[in-house]
A and B are shown apart, each in its own frame.
Chain A
């Protein structure tokens, strides 16, 4: 492994610029966004040059490290602050800085009217720095710092428009779900340290084959919990929809392309743990399958364009998590889907932002309609992303999603059929709800009020959308051509040991099957939404009436369209509300009740304080007696 002295700049530059913008305050208002964008672009430049440098080396020397300083050294615990750039992390570096830069550019226009634009860009830069630290840290502890950092950035940005109390609540909800996940990560780190005496990736990797299965399963489960929190996977998925309260560029960058995929990174990075514990892998695929279906079904019921896309993100990450649980060959496909998803989902989010920008921040798709004519560039770029997520050949999603479905089927036996079947079902529902989004937004008759003047956005906004759309078209082909990504990642994830399983069906059959269900889902949506009675604009202005109609329509659609889905949706939503939210509420209730009791004990009377102490001594004596007797 070679050393590189440039890695630190990837993190230091955006961090410095973020601090500068925050410290300078209003002075930097005029040029703050430009500096932030420039810095983001230069990190992309560094990323590209590192990528080129990696190509000029071979074997173990492809990966590079940089030791910054000895961070903690106490007792047996020695942690260096070191960075590691290998085949896996460079994928993320390029994605984060590339998409990040596009979104910086987009935000210049999108946030033009916001008086706090400088602060927004400071947070974006901070996010870039933290996210890069997350993927470049060479130990779980370094990763944890970045992990907390992106959590903080996400939190600050969701609540960016915190004058709206709903948004502040959303920020809080995201925060709580993430804390539960972080708890998992810190426990995983503790157990790793106890088991291996180190928290560095190389150290844990070396120790994993000799560790006890129970410990490996525990670490795996805790890492999965962490991943679930960050990546909005079952059972910690509920925050992502609410996180859409943040500005749309944030949703595109953090809550679609990069941060929410950190869970996939974590599991892929910890492949040595999951390879060694089949129980942990079963947990992973279960979480993946549940979430991919859950997200897809939720997506069919959302009228808010961003929430529909958020549900879709949840579902697509479910695919990635599923892939990481499928053994060595799955990791590469998970990363491939992550990269293609980064393009098409970010593109669609920016498209949604462009629509909202033109529609006075309206998010309800039932108040869109027929926008394709007025916003042609947005419609085309969104449409390309749409084809990509559906997995229509030759768009990006075709290459990555089909591989996952295929690998799932190849697991063999009932397991393979269940996983593959679920993945196929997910693809069908995806086709349905994405078609619904496109039809409601861009096709059909206009349903917006006369007051709105939908218009195409400025070049600063559509430029990034076009670039991302190109990615939605070509990235899948490029990444899978000659198995380029699989080979590239091979040193990290050991894909060569992959026994792809015996093929259940020929790849072509799987592809055709997938294409068939996609056509089925999409066609169904088109048919159903064509029969929607056209609503004249005058009537739309009568809010309640239209809302009631929408409601009936929803009930109708749900009952007829996704027949098994209706009950399932209700069930899942109820589970979400009663069981999961309920559990969260219950825990909160118990804590505050206990807290109240404690407050009553704390009554201010010295005599009861003295009594408490006496009782404490007595209990202590009893414990001593029990232990020693």
Chain B
């Protein structure tokens, strides 16, 4: 007698809505004429994300439930992270509407006659939108997955579309394709580690479910070598995704090579998903042996914060700068994640939102700063930008201030709350390195501000493209969020405080 398993579609609906939207998008590709395709795809993508978000909001009361035969946990923390991903993805999608970032035809060789033809015919790669939706569906599944197989599937579903869209930049296509290949190769490499780790954990506990791994880990007399190797290898897959040192090498190359709207999306949303998954694994499966593995992650957190901050100093390229900055932030987030406390989770979630808005906004501004050949990310050429476009320069400055943790921006509150959560665990080393590296990084951020505000514009100075309505509303949303969360963070903290339940 086989009974079909109860899946709890209501709880899975946000993921399914996004997947449905993606599939519809594939159909649109096939059946809608070229004239309306881009517009329909954009509306479809935005609508799917919005509906999914609405659904997340509507089921937030049903917290702490397992769904899909215990392979998925829909709980406070998970829903908060899903909501965060959806909001950030929505804003990021607004920047996708500037379609001149993407290669007209991905299959055409860079610089070929075919490419030129596609370009002049106004062909657009509207497949971007379904690909992004697929990635979002993976991201939504990632932080709520409750067993290792689901986790792995989510990891791949979110990664593979990203590998593809990384290679789709319109200009500097070779760089973009190289970045995509690197990302793919290293991603596959880290996935192998992840699977290897899952195998070790299965060998150790006889189960792939996080709950049962915990039970086995807590039991005395177990073979801990398998367990520890499993913890380490599983983490490699996750640390790779968040770009923690020494698994970060891909970050600058990929962030620079990918089309800028994709970079913003990837930098913000992937981190939310991966840190959500990481926290869940750490606290659900491995918390009983935290004293054994924590030193490794303390070390990683420290080298990540310091490494990112130090490397950022010599950067001359805005996109690479933001990449190293995101590495430093990964270190801070990791510090919050391994605090393994309610305060750690709350502050990590707040940090992710604060960081996400500032990141998307910053990359959004990079898309606007151009010369005749396209985007310009050489910092020196941003000299005197404030004289030409004070609004854009001010917004960029605010995002940098938030990265640097200056009071009255969301970044300050985020850092402070992470630090207090870390302090509660008594780990002074992280704290000292954290404060020092934020000071170092801040020095750099302010240098960029100086260049924009205090240097005279030269003939070489770039111009700022007039943003479309969607793009400017994206920037405004990020700007307002960064400011409001800095002045009145309790709006979000009150919510985050109530949404910290995790299915054990």
Asked if A596 is an interface residue, CB under 8 A from chain B, the answer is: yes
Question: Could you tell me the distance in whole angstroms from the C-beta of A431 to the nearest C-beta in chain B?
Answer: 40
- Once the chains are docked, how many angstroms separate the CA of A72 from the CA of B407? 12
Residues in chain B near residue A601, CB distance under 8 A: 249
Among the listed stretches A186-194, A378-386, A514-522, which one makes contact with chain B, having 4 or more residues with CB under 8 Å of it?
A186-194
B170-208 interface code vs A (CB 8 A; 1 in, 0 out): 000000000001100110011001000000000000000
Interface 0/1 of A583-608, CB less than 8 Å to B: 00000000110111011011010101
A617–B193 touching, CB < 8 Å: yes
Q: Are B310 and A598 in contact (CB under 8 A)?
A: yes
For the complex, give the distance between the alpha carbons of A489 and B451 in Å: 45
A623 to B293, CA, bound (A): 9
Cross-chain contact B454 with A162 (CB below 8 angstroms)? yes
Chain B residues contacting A172 (CB-CB under 8 Å) are 450
A141, A190, A627 interface centre (most CB from chain B within 10 Å): A190
The reply to whether B310 and A594 form a contact with Cβ atoms under 8 Å apart is yes
Bound-state CA distance A106–B296 (Å) is 60
Could you give, for residues 291-319 of chain B, a 1 whenever the CB lies within 8 Å of some chain A CB and a 0 otherwise?
11101100110000001001101100000
Contact A72 B193, beta carbon cutoff 8 Å: no
Q: Which of A71, A159, A598, A613 contacts B236 (CB 8 A)?
A: A613
Contact B417 A183 (CB under 8 A): no
| B456 on interface, CB distance cutoff 8 Å | yes
Which residues between 559 and 597 of chain A lie within 8 Å of chain B, taking CB atoms? 591-592, 594-596
**B57 shortest CB reach to chain A, Å:** 22
Tell me the B307-356 residues at the A interface (CB within 8 Å): 307, 310-311, 313-314, 341-343, 346-347, 350
Q: Using Cβ atoms and an 8 Å threshold, which residues of chain A touch B293?
A: 624, 627
Complex Cα–Cα for A162 and B416 (A): 33
Task: Tell me how many residues of A have a C-beta within 8 Å of chain B.
Answer: 58
In the complex, whether B501 has a CB less than 8 A from a CB of chain A is no
Are A76 and B311 within 8 A (Cβ)? Answer: no
- 3-27 of chain A: CB within 8 A of chain B: none
Selected contact of B454 from candidates A159, A176, A193, A623, CB within 8 Å? A159
Q: Taking the nearest CB of chain B, how far is it from the CB of A155, in angstroms?
A: 9
A615 B249 Cβ-Cβ under 8 A: no
Assess the B489–A592 pair: CB atoms within 8 A.
no
Question: Contacts of B343 on A, CB cut-off 8 Å?
Answer: 74-77
> Do B292 and A624 touch (CB < 8 A)?
yes
- For A193, A594, A602, A620, the residue with the greatest tally of chain B CB atoms inside 10 Å of its CB is A620
B320 nearest CB neighbor, chain A only: A602
Q: Does B413 contact A (CB under 8 A)?
A: yes
A175 touches B347 (CB 8 A): no
Tell me whether A75 and B249 are in contact (CB under 8 A): no
Interface 1/0 per residue, A69-97 and B, CB below 8 Å = 11111111100000000000000000000
By the criterion CB–CB under 8 Å, are A190 and B431 in contact? yes
Distance of A596 Cα from B247 Cα, bound (Å): 19
Across the interface, which residues of A come within 8 angstroms of B496, CB to CB? 74
B229-241 interface code vs A (CB 8 A; 1 in, 0 out)? 1011100100010
Contacts A598-B311, A628-B224: A76 and B424 contacting too (C-beta < 8 A)? yes
Min Cβ gap A568→B in Å is: 33
What chain B residues lie within 8 Å of A58 (beta carbons)?
none
- In the assembled complex, the Cα of A346 lies from the Cα of B498 at a distance in Å of 52
Is A612's CB within 8 Å of the partner chain B?
A: yes
Q: Is the interface of A mostly helix, strand, loop or mixed?
A: helix
A610 at interface (Cβ–Cβ under 8 A)? Answer: yes
Q: Does A362 contact B (CB under 8 A)?
A: no
CB-based contact A609/B493 at 8 Å: no
Collect the chain A residues with CB atoms within 8 Å of residue B250's CB.
609
Min distance, Cβ B11 to any Cβ of chain A, angstroms: 27
Q: Is the CB of A74 within 8 A of B497?
A: yes
Q: Find the B residue at minimum CB distance from A601.
A: B249
**CA–CA, A141 to B182, complex, Å?**
44
- In the complex, are the beta carbons of A627 and B232 less than 8 A apart? no
A187 to B341, CA, bound (A): 22
**Residue among A595, A604, A623 making CB contact with B314, cutoff 8 Å:** A595
Is A452 interfacial (CB 8 A cutoff)?
no
B228 within 8 A of partner (CB): yes
A546 at the interface (CB under 8 A from B): no
| Nearest residue, chain A, Cβ from B184 | A606
Residues of A within 8 Å of B346, CB to CB, are 74-75
Instruction: Encode A175-209 as 1/0 by CB contact (under 8 A) with B.
Output: 11001101100110010011000000000000000
B299:A623 contact, CB within 8 angstroms: yes
- Interface presence of B212 (CB below 8 A): no
The yes or no answer to B276 lying at the interface (CB within 8 A) is: no
- For the complex, give the distance between the alpha carbons of A159 and B455 in Å: 11
The 8 Å CB contact of B494, one of A73, A615, A621, is: A73
A598 CB to nearest B CB, Å: 5
Which residues of A are found within 8 Å of B389, using beta-carbon distances? none
- Identify A186's interface contact among B193, B224, B435, B497, CB under 8 A: B435
- A628 CA to B217 CA, complexed, in Å: 14
Distance in angstroms from A627 CB to nearest chain B CB is 5
CA distance A152 to B186 in the complex (A): 42
Quick one: closest B residue to A75, CB to CB? B343
| Interface 0/1 of B470-499, CB less than 8 Å to A | 000000000000000000111001101100
Find out whether the CB atom of A168 lies under 8 angstroms from the CB atom of B186.
Answer: no
Q: Given the complex, which residues of A lie within 8 Å of B228, measured CB to CB?
A: 624, 628
Minimum CB–CB distance for A119 against chain B, Å: 11
Known: A74-B350, A175-B446, A606-B186. A148 touches B406 (CB 8 A): yes
Picked from A73, A187, A598, A621, the residue with its CB within 8 Å of the CB of B229 is: A621
Partner of B182, one of A194, A606, A627: A606
The one of B253, B424, B454, B493 that contacts A604, using a Cβ cutoff of 8 Å = B253
Select one of A74, A162, A613 contacting B493, CB under 8 A.
Answer: A74
Whether A179 contacts B443 by the Cβ 8 Å rule is: yes
Which residues of the partner chain B approach A609 to less than 8 Å between Cβ atoms?
182, 186, 249-250
A531 within 8 A of B: no
* CA–CA, A70 and B493, complex, Å: 11
What are the residues of chain B within 8 A of A194 when measuring CB–CB?
423-424
Q: Which of B236, B407, B494 neighbours the largest number of chain A CB atoms within 10 Å of its CB?
A: B407
Interface residues of B in 247-263 (CB under 8 A from A): 247, 249-250, 252-253
- B423 CB → nearest A CB, Å: 5
Residue of chain B at shortest CB distance from A142: B407
Q: Is the CB of A190 within 8 A of B420?
A: yes
Between-chain CB contacts (< 8 Å), 26 pairs: A69-B488, A71-B489, A72-B417, A73-B490, A73-B494, A73-B497, A74-B343, A76-B343, A77-B343, A145-B408, A152-B406, A162-B454, A179-B443, A183-B435, A183-B436, A592-B314, A595-B313, A601-B249, A613-B247, A616-B236, A617-B232, A617-B236, A620-B300, A621-B229, A623-B296, A624-B293
Name 8 extra pairs, CB < 8 A, besides A183-B435, A194-B424, A619-B246.
Answer: A148-B407, A168-B450, A592-B314, A594-B310, A598-B311, A616-B247, A627-B292, A628-B224
Nearest first, the 3 closest Cβ-Cβ pairs linking A and B are A75-B343, A616-B246, A609-B249
